[in-house]
């Protein structure tokens, strides 16, 4: 049984339609797929339809953009009630923050001498609610200002670079609380990727566990073998679920093919058990799995 628990579609900054991600996952031999677009559940419905047709199990999730000790930290939320008001408000606040800072990014890049417009970015963002730096990066690539997304981030969009503009993000601890109240299971995405190690040290992870964190993504391309081993040991000590996933973005991220990392069946079972407990405790009508039962 192969499970990939973190992927993106055109509902955020991936390049495939939600249904395409699901069909590709089935073709790649995956049995379980979680669609976890940034700050949006708009891909859930088309993905669910495709999962039923393809005979693959779909776990509906969200990757929430939060801030923790001054750094950006991503929180995966599995199977929360998408109509829970505080969760809806939390996501809307992030999306509004993205939209509000976009003119500032474009202006900063123009001041830097680049001929980019808000329309250029909107074209790349398409129908997504979560338009962000990845779409600016795509526009910059199209304009010839960078070779690929990574180069655009490194030279123009990362903090400290000419096109960087701060945006609103809820605190990680608030997000964990809201996800739990919505009946979902909060799991840290790539905790030690991109400098996360400094703010998510062992004591920090223990504290988050006390606040209700359920798991950590250990097998992720941003973690080298040493980081994975260390995180796996920490998860064991802290009784956190260990997940593994591709963080697939279609053409938006190289070396993140579907199934490149996966979640062990026993860990998936633990995650679903905890999600069920949290759902019951919340009293919320949470979404179930779509497609074949797991286990
Ligand atoms: P935003 O939320 O609009 O600030 O953009 C952040 C998003 O850009 C995150 O979800 C990351 O997945 C992506 N991102 C951040 N840094 C990089 C990078 N160096 N290369 C490619 N994507 C990145
Ligand atoms: Zn992304
Ligand atoms: Fe992420
Ligand atoms: Fe992601």
Q: What is the DSSP string of 104-117?
A: HHHHHHHHTT----
135 pLDDT band, cuts 50/70/90, is very high
Pocket residue to mutate for ligand 1, from 12, 153, 155, 190, most atoms within 8 A of Cβ = 153
Report the pLDDT value the prediction gives residue 195, as an integer from 0 to 100.
Answer: 87
52-91: pLDDT as tens digits: 999 999 999 999 999 999 999 999 999 999 999 999 999 9
Q: Whose CA is nearest to atom 3 of ligand 1?
A: 132
What is residue 49's three-state secondary structure?
Answer: helix
CA of 38 to the centre of ligand 2 (A): 6
Least Cα distance to 104 among 155, 168, 165, 152 occurs for: 165
pLDDT of the residue at 47: 98
Ligand approaching nearest to the C-alpha of 61: 4
Give the model's pLDDT for residue 216: 98
Which ligand approaches the C-alpha of residue 189 most closely?
3
Site to probe by mutation for ligand 1, drawn from 124, 131, 133 as the one with most ligand atoms within 8 Å of Cβ, is 133
Q: What is the mean pLDDT of residues 184-191?
A: 98
C-alpha–C-alpha distance, residues 13 and 37, integer Å: 8
Confidence of residue 295 (pLDDT cuts 50, 70, 90): confident
Tell me what pLDDT residue 93 has. Answer: 98
What is the per-residue pLDDT for 61?
98
pLDDT on residue 149: 95
Q: Which of 67, 76, 93, 132 to mutate for ligand 1's pocket (most ligand atoms within 8 Å of CB)?
A: 132
Helices in the chain by DSSP H: which ranges? 18-27, 44-54, 85-111, 118-125, 133-142, 149-152, 172-181, 202-210, 225-238, 265-282
Distance 142 CA to ligand 4 centre (A): 22
Alpha carbon of 202 to ligand 3 centroid (Å): 20
The pTM of the whole model exceeds 0.95 = yes
Task: Look at residue 129 and tell me whether its pLDDT is greater than 90.
Answer: no
Query: Do 205 and 191 meet the contact criterion of CB atoms below 8 Å apart?
Result: yes
Q: In the numeric block, which tokens belong to residue 123?
A: 């074209």
In angstroms, rounded to a whole number, what is the distance separating the alpha carbons of residues 93 and 168? Answer: 7
How far does the centroid of ligand 3 lie from the alpha carbon of residue 277, in Å? 26
Query: CA dihedral in degrees (24, 26, 224, 170; nearest 10)?
Result: 80
Residue nearest ligand 1's atom 13 by CA: 134
The protein residue with its alpha carbon nearest to ligand 1, atom 20, reads 150
Taking CA atoms only, the protein residue closest to ligand 1 atom 2 is 132
The protein residue whose alpha carbon is closest to atom 16 in ligand 1 is 153
What residues does ligand 1 touch, defined as CB less than 6 Å away? 38, 65, 98, 132-134, 149-150, 153, 167
| Rounded alpha-carbon distances, angstroms, from residue 163 to 71, 121, 149, 154, 268 | 18, 13, 14, 11, 40
**pLDDT-based confidence at residue 127 (cuts at 50, 70, 90):** confident
Token digits for 216?
């950590």
Q: How far is CA 289 from CA 52, 57, 60, 158, 179, in A?
A: 11, 7, 7, 36, 17
- Cβ(16)–Cβ(24) below 8 Å: yes
- Average of pLDDT values for 244-271? 97
Return d(Cα 126, Cα 139) in angstroms, integer.
12
Condensed to tens digits (0 to 9), the pLDDT of residues 85-118 reads 999 999 999 999 999 999 999 999 999 999 999 9
Q: What is the dihedral of CA 36, 42, 43, 48, to 10 degrees?
A: 110
- Average confidence score pLDDT of the chain: 97
CA of 249 from ligand 2 middle (Å) equals 7
DSSP annotation of 240: P
State whether the Cα torsion 104-70-78-261 is positive or negative. Answer: positive
């Amino acid at each position: 049984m192969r499970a990939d628990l973190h992927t993106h579609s055109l509902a955020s900054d991936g390049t495939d339609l939600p249904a395409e991600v699901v069909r590709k996952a089935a073709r790649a031999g995956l049995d379980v797929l979680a669609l976890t677009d940034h700050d949006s559940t708009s891909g859930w419905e088309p993905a669910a339809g495709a999962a039923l047709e393809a005979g693959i199990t779909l776990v509906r999730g969200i990757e929430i953009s939060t801030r923790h000790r001054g750094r950006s930290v991503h929180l995966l939320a599995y199977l929360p009630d998408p109509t829970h008001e505080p969760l809806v408000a939390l996501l809307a606040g992030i999306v509004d923050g993205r939209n509000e800072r976009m003119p500032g990014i474009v202006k900063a890049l123009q001041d830097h001498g680049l001929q980019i417009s808000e329309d250029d970015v909107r074209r790349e963002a398409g129908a997504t609610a979560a338009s962000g730096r990845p779409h600016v990066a795509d526009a910059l690539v199209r304009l010839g200002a960078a070779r690929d997304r990574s180069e655009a981030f490194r030279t123009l969009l990362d903090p400290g670079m000419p096109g960087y503009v701060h945006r609103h993000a809820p605190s990680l601890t608030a997000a964990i609380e809201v996800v739990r109240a919505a009946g979902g299971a909060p799991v840290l995405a790539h905790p030690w990727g991109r400098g996360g190690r400094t703010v998510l040290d062992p004591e920090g992870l223990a504290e988050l566990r006390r606040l209700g964190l359920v798991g950590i993504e250990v097998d992720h391309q941003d973690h080298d073998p040493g980081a994975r081993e260390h995180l796996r040991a920490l998860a064991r000590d802290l009784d956190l679920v260990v997940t593994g996933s591709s963080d697939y973005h279609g053409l938006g991220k190289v070396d993140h093919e579907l199934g490149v990392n996966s979640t062990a069946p026993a860990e998936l079972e633990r995650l679903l058990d905890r999600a069920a407990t949290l759902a019951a405790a919340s009293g919320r009508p949470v979404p179930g799995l779509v497609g074949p039962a797991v286990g």
